[in-house]
Amino acid sequence: MIALDMVWDPSKGLDLGVFTLHYYSLMWIVAFVIGLQIMKRIFNHEKQSQQALDSLFIYAVIGIMLGARLGHVIFYQPELISEDFFSIFLPFKFKGGFEFTGFKGLASHGAAIAMIIAMYLYNKKVLHKTVLWILDRVVIPVASGAVFVRLGNFINSEIIGKPTGSDYGVTFKQLGETFPRHPAQLYEAGSYVFVFLILWYFYWKTKKSEQEGFLFGLFLVLLWTVRFFVEFVKEAQNEERADWLLNTGQLLSIPFILIGLYFMFVHKPKTKSQR
């Protein structure tokens, strides 16, 4: 339970001498390390090789990070393409002077699209099963990773919520504010814990993992439904909020939810003889 009017003013990161490791970057590292351990247990259960797991990790890291960055630029900050192109792919700012920034600006919608593409390539080159087979399993560690990414956003005082208009909330001192806001990052992180636990339960305790596409669909429905509703208490990012009911994040979430429902209730997997 968050205390009334909690003042949040953490350090910016770990000083390593040469550079500062921002907590947001650290949370991404934690997300990938824990995700790897979760996937290792799943692959052992599925009798997949360590080599296949190592390749999966490489495909996932490159795909998710690249997709998250490109997604942010395309959906929220397209001016970077003409104003500071190399900052899109490198952890540096070049416009207005050279500066190490880390990878700031990562969009979950772009990461989701890139994950699907990366898993398609991984399956084609390494696994040789079906794309949905690997997606049904990789969404479990992805859901756990989403928890740490949002915790990183909270530590960084970014992707903040709207003012609560009451004594309840978090005052982000690093932003120079003196009033409490909704801790939208914590709302999401807490919700993603339940998304992870639900997926974990369905994989280990039911036979839904045998229904190809179901867990992938369940992940899309749960995660993007959370994102859709939390957006109502989020502050605008890069002036992306429209003047009407839904913002960019919500509009981008709707197709993912519909796709998820399709894979849960409509999709009929092909039999081995049809493949």
By the 8 A CB rule, do 114 and 66 touch?
yes
Angle between helices 131-155 and 108-122 (to 10 degrees): 150
Q: What are residue 181's DSSP bridge partners? A: 163, 170
Rounded CA separation 96/110 (Å): 27
By the 8 A CB rule, do 179 and 163 touch?
yes
Candidates 109, 114, 150, 189; CA nearest to 27 is: 150
Single-letter amino acid, residue 105 = G
In sequence order, what are the residues at sequence separation of 6 or more whose Cβ sits closer than 8 angstroms to the Cβ of residue 18? Answer: none
Any idea what DSSP says for residue 76? T
Q: What is the pTM of this model?
A: 0.86
pLDDT at position 154 is: 94
User: What is 206-258 written as a DSSP string?
Assistant: SSGGGSTTHHHHHHHHHHHHHHHHHGGGBPPSTT---SSS--HHHHHHHHHHH
Rounded CA separation 154/182 (Å): 11
Single-letter amino acid, residue 121 = L
pLDDT at position 247 is: 83
* Mean pLDDT of successive 10-residue stretches along the chain, which has 275 residues: 74 73 85 96 96 96 88 77 71 67 70 91 94 97 96 90 93 92 96 98 95 97 96 76 70 94 90 47
pLDDT at position 237 is: 66
Any idea what DSSP says for residue 275? -
pLDDT at position 25 is: 81
